[in-house]
Amino acid sequence: MNNRQPFYLLVLLLILYITGPATASAQAGERLRTVVLTDIENEPDDAQSLVRFLTYANQWDIEGIIATTSTHSKDKIADWRIHEILKAYQKVQPNLLKHEKGYPSYNELREKVKKGLPVYGMNGVGEGHDSEGSEWIIRSLEKEDNRPLWIQVWGGPNTLAQALWKIRHTKAPAEAEKLYSKVRVYTISDQDDSGPWIRKEFPNLFYICSPGFDNKGGYHHATWPGISGDTFLGRFQGANRDVISKEWLRQNIQQGHGPLGAEYPDVAYLMEGDTPSFLYLIPNGLNSPENPNYGGWGGRYEFYTPRMQKWFLMPETRPFWTDAVDEYFSPVDESHHTSNKVTVWRWREEFQNDFAARMDWCVKSYKEANHPPVPMLAHPENITLKAGEELKLSAKGTTDPDKDALAYTWFHYPEPGTYGSYEGAMKIENANAMEAKAKMPEVEVPQTVHFILKVTDNGSPALTRYKRVIVSILPE
């Protein structure tokens, strides 16, 4: 080692700190804990999202499903609709277990359905505004369990706001901070006025959000409409629209897929606007929940304080995880596209096929259905090399449970790292083979580069899983 390298290693550690998680991550491979807050029945999309969510119910420890209000449903909640969909899940859960272990029973989930107050926003926060939903969140945080609690907010977050308010007013500061440190929030924009309040009053809380309100045009600027917003906003020219069409949904979800598929309502405005909050949590090898800047099925976000916009309720007072931009070459129209919504829709065909397969699991035998491949790496996921050295990538050991043929794709994902751009993406030799290689560029300071392995089977529907390789490049 030459005498410059200790300095470079210090710089590299700083880069990894800045581009890495804002808070301590859970142990690798741990199941995530999650709570859903939903203004279900304000329109059909929450029911759609809940159907999909339940087909992945074995992927997480589901701590609660809480009915709440929002700006779209200010004085009523609809826990009854959650129970309706759970009863349909009860009928297909035995068949789901034929495909993967761990699907919770109907009785387990039924006991975790709770109610927030039928009150809008900050009118439901403060003395005398506890609800079984807010108390349930506190109880979940108080468990002797150090894993983070991921709170998906599909409507207004005032039930969470009340839980945080009560913790502040009833716990010693050190104990309160311990509970706050477990909280991970992913909200679908701001659907009441308690979201900006939470961000202001709890400045260290892990928070993912595209801030803004619908009545000010905020949804048009958010990341999450990338799941299907082109049917509503009409702008996503490079996105695959076939897999979100009414015909596709009828064929692959609603019809011929048992009682759970029958509970999936027709689209009114856009399909499943809330779903990115848990697409983000699926352990598919691409997602890295503690690192929103890495990118995945639920989008990509960066840590900064957004400047005031006309669709905000108030100026933001601190940095949090918010909208980021990807550039992507779409095979749909063979053109480049750059936006925050690209960070979601670039994966659309893959996450829609995955949902279709899980709906098949509701009614088909194991042999009749498709199951995702299992990618493997023949080397570590984190590698350090010097400029000019050759990186050897290998997916040896990758398997498929159905013995399907597999297609391999390696690509450089520039935005999560510190080196390169779409135009300056690193070239990979044999990028469509099990084994590939790339030469590290000359760099003046340490850099990080993210390479993604994408493995897709030839089953029906074709299913994809991933591995991420992060390379730290040191100057010579």
pLDDT tens string 199-231:
999 999 999 999 998 878 889 999 999 999 876
The pLDDT of residue 231 is 62
- Res 244 pLDDT > 80: yes
What's the CA gap between 132 and 224, in Å, rounded?
29
Whether the Cβ atoms of residue 189 and residue 211 lie closer than 8 Å to each other: yes
Q: Which residue reads 């352990």 in tokens?
A: 283
Nearest to 283 by CA among 448, 469, 468: 468
In the structure encoding, which two tokens stand for residue 99, read together?
A: 């495909």
The pLDDT of residue 2 is 46
Q: What kind of fold does domain 370-474 have according to CATH?
A: Immunoglobulin-like (2.60.40)
Task: State percent of the chain over pLDDT 90.
Answer: 88
For residue 144, give the 3-state DSSP assignment: coil
* Strand-pair category, 335-339 with 326-330: antiparallel
Span 36-69, pLDDT tens digits: 999 999 999 999 999 999 999 999 999 999 999 9
- Res 126 pLDDT > 90: yes
Provide the 8-state DSSP code for 431: T
**Region 127-148: what's the mean pLDDT?**
98
Whether the Cβ atoms of residue 423 and residue 338 lie closer than 8 Å to each other: no
Confidence of residue 235 (pLDDT cuts 50, 70, 90): low
The pLDDT of residue 29 is 67
Provide the 8-state DSSP code for 43: S
Instruction: Indicate the CATH number of 29-361 among 3.30.70.20, 3.90.550.10, 3.40.50.300, 3.90.245.10.
Output: 3.90.245.10
Nearest to 274 by CA among 46, 109, 31, 426: 46
**Region 407-419: what's the mean pLDDT?**
96
DSSP per residue, 382-422? EEEEETTPEEEEE-TT-B-TT---EEEEEEE-TTTSSS--S
The pLDDT of residue 16 is 45
Q: Which residues contact 152 (CB under 8 A, 6 or more apart)?
A: 34, 35, 36, 37, 186, 274, 277, 278, 281
Whether the Cβ atoms of residue 66 and residue 36 lie closer than 8 Å to each other: yes
**Region 240-255: what's the mean pLDDT?**
97
Nearest to 195 by CA among 39, 25, 49, 24: 39
Span 320-379, pLDDT tens digits: 999 999 999 999 999 999 999 999 999 999 999 999 999 999 999 999 999 999 999 999
Q: Which residue reads 């009860």 in tokens?
A: 90
Kindly provide the b/e burial profile for residues 344-375, where b requires at least 16 CB atoms within 10 angstroms of the residue's own CB.
Answer: bbbbbbbbbbbbbbbbbbbbbeeeebbbbbeb
The pLDDT of residue 128 is 97
Confidence of residue 466 (pLDDT cuts 50, 70, 90): very high
Do 29-361 and 370-474 come out as alike in CATH topology?
A: no
Nearest to 340 by CA among 309, 300, 305: 300
Span 436-453, pLDDT tens digits: 999 999 999 999 999 999
The pLDDT of residue 233 is 61
Axis crossing angle, helix 194-201 with helix 158-170, rounded to the nearest 10 = 30
Confidence of residue 9 (pLDDT cuts 50, 70, 90): very low
Q: Where are the domains of the chain?
A: 29-361, 370-474
Strand partners, 37: 66, 153
Average pLDDT, the chain: 93
- Res 15 pLDDT > 70: no
**Region 17-34: what's the mean pLDDT?**
56
- Res 11 pLDDT > 60: no
The pLDDT of residue 42 is 93
Confidence of residue 420 (pLDDT cuts 50, 70, 90): confident
pTM metric for this prediction: 0.93
**Region 119-127: what's the mean pLDDT?**
98
